[in-house]
Amino acid sequence: MKKLIAFLLLFTASNAFSQSAFNVGENFKFRIHYGVVNAGYATLEVKEGTKDNKKVYHVVGNGYTTGMTKFFFKVNDTYESYFDKATIKPYQAVRKIDEGGYTKNQEAFFNQDRNTVTVKDYKKKTEKTLTTSENVQDVMSTFYYLRNHPKIETMKVGESVTVDMFFDDEILKFKLKFIGREDLKTKFGTISTMIFRPLVLAGRVFKEEESLTVWISDDNNRVPLRIKANLAVGSLKADLEEYKGLASPLKIKAK
């Protein structure tokens, strides 16, 4: 459950873009369910922020369990990112999580000119500066970087896009593999989608490296419509429940 919420807050592009897939005011709400059981919700909102007297995107993501699920495993996560409107390079990232009693309260401050990041851990009361790769992304900015990536619309089946993502004090190679296209039935109607599989670590939670599947709208918005996670026991789904503030009208083939 917590892994799917974390991914929603993550997945939820290049150095210059002709038309952005998103804008200030965009807001998503996802329903996370295990079969017919409602397990929780995740939200993503694009706001306007300011860094060094410059207007930037400020994205806030929240994930939380509801109903009986929170009595078995309570999740309340918040991820935030401040990133440049033109380059999508992050300036600051916030991570406040509570996953069954496991907590983190951190902020990361990126210096893209020097390729460094300073991490402040408010729980441990520590601060450290680490070296990063060039054009590194944080958890939240990765999602928006990929939505705008010019390669997405021309990818062939089996091709992938790789992003350097800073997470848990290290640089991870986040790889997104294109699987194909499909017309997906949603609560909004039938929508043409592109299907991707982000590569994840196989082990106790996920069955294998390609255990996550993501359906995004095959239009200018590239809206995440469904995420499915095959777990060690059963599977979880997250479906888009509500949306507003899209940069372009969502293309719906049939109601």
Q: Is residue 185, in this structure, part of any structural domain at all?
A: yes
3-state secondary structure of 70: helix
**Residue 6's pLDDT is what?**
52
C-alpha pair distances (Å), 133 with each of 40, 101, 106: 35, 32, 20
For the chain, the first-to-last Cα distance in angstroms comes to 31
pLDDT of residue 79: 97
When pLDDT is averaged across residues 182-205 and rounded to a whole number, the result is: 82
Does 254 map to a domain? Answer: no
Residue 104 lies in domain: 2-244
* Residue 39 near residue 65 (C-beta atoms within 8 A): yes
> What's the mean pLDDT when you consider all of the chain?
87
| pLDDT-derived band at 209, boundaries 50, 70, 90 | low
Quote the percentage of the chain above a pLDDT of 90.
69
In a domain, 103, yes or no: yes
CATH code (residue 110): 2.40.360
Average pLDDT over residues 121-144: 95
Given a cut of 50, is residue 247 above it in pLDDT?
A: yes
> Rounded to whole angstroms, what are the CA distances from 239 to 186, 223, 252?
8, 11, 16
Give me the torsion for CA of 196, 200, 203, 208, rounded to 10°.
30
- For helices 2-11 and 139-147, angle between their N-to-C axes, nearest 10 degrees: 50
Lowest-confidence region among 17-21, 60-64, 102-106: 17-21
Within-domain flag for 252:
no
Q: How confident is the model at residue 1 (pLDDT cuts 50, 70, 90)?
A: low
* Residue 60 placed within a domain: yes
pLDDT at position 205 is 37
Residue 39 domain flag? yes
Between residues 73 and 39, the one the model is more confident about: 39
As for how many domains the chain has, the answer is 1
- Tell whether 249 is covered by a domain: no
Report the pLDDT value the prediction gives residue 17, as an integer from 0 to 100: 37
In this prediction, residue 211 has a pLDDT band, given cuts at 50, 70 and 90, of: confident
User: What is this structure's pTM?
Assistant: 0.87
Split at pLDDT 50, 70, 90, the class of 36 is confident
Which pLDDT band, with edges at 50, 70 and 90, does 15 fall under? Answer: very low
Residue 202 pLDDT > 90: no
| pLDDT confidence band for 253 (50 / 70 / 90) | very high
Distance from C-alpha of 147 to C-alpha of 223, rounded to nearest angstrom = 8
Give domain status of residue 98, yes or no: yes
Nearest 5°: the CA angle 206, 210, 211 is 40
- Is pLDDT of 233 > 70? no
Task: Return the CA Rg of the chain.
Answer: 18
